[in-house]
Amino acid sequence: MKIALDFDEVLAETFDSLLRYYQRRYGKLYKREEFKEYKFWPLLGKNREEATRFVDEFLETHTFDELMPVDGAIESVSEMLNNRDKLYIITARPL
């Protein structure tokens, strides 16, 4: 079977890492629970363009090996591979 998995928030805890980066950069720690929708820039006190630049900066400075896996992701991927499923990792990130 062919299976496509999104990278961010399906395999890796990208948003938590982004919030830690925000804390290092601006000195304020937000918790994931404070965000009720994907449109997160108002809570950060930024407009959409500023938030996009911030996320781009984060993505340019962080490598995949700095991200923690989502709970259960390793076991699930291992099971799919053991079933000989063909896996594809997808993302909306610019590569």
- Tens digit of each residue's pLDDT (9 = 90 or more) over 25-37: 899 999 888 888 7
Mean pLDDT estimate for the chain: 88
Confidence of residue 55 (pLDDT cuts 50, 70, 90): confident
Element spanning 69, H or E: none
Give the type of residue at 13. E
Angle of helix 48-61 relative to helix 14-26, nearest 10 degrees, comes to 100
Report the distance separating Cα 12 and Cα 41, nearest Å.
21
Is residue 16 a contact partner of residue 68, using CB atoms and an 8 Å limit? Answer: yes
Q: What share of the chain is helix, strand, coil (3-state, %, to 5)?
A: 50, 15, 35
Average of pLDDT values for 39-67? 83
Under 8 Å CB-to-CB from 4, ≥6 apart: which residues? 87, 88, 89, 90
Confidence of residue 60 (pLDDT cuts 50, 70, 90): confident
Scanning the structure block, which residue is given the tokens 């610019």? Answer: 94
pTM for this entry: 0.77
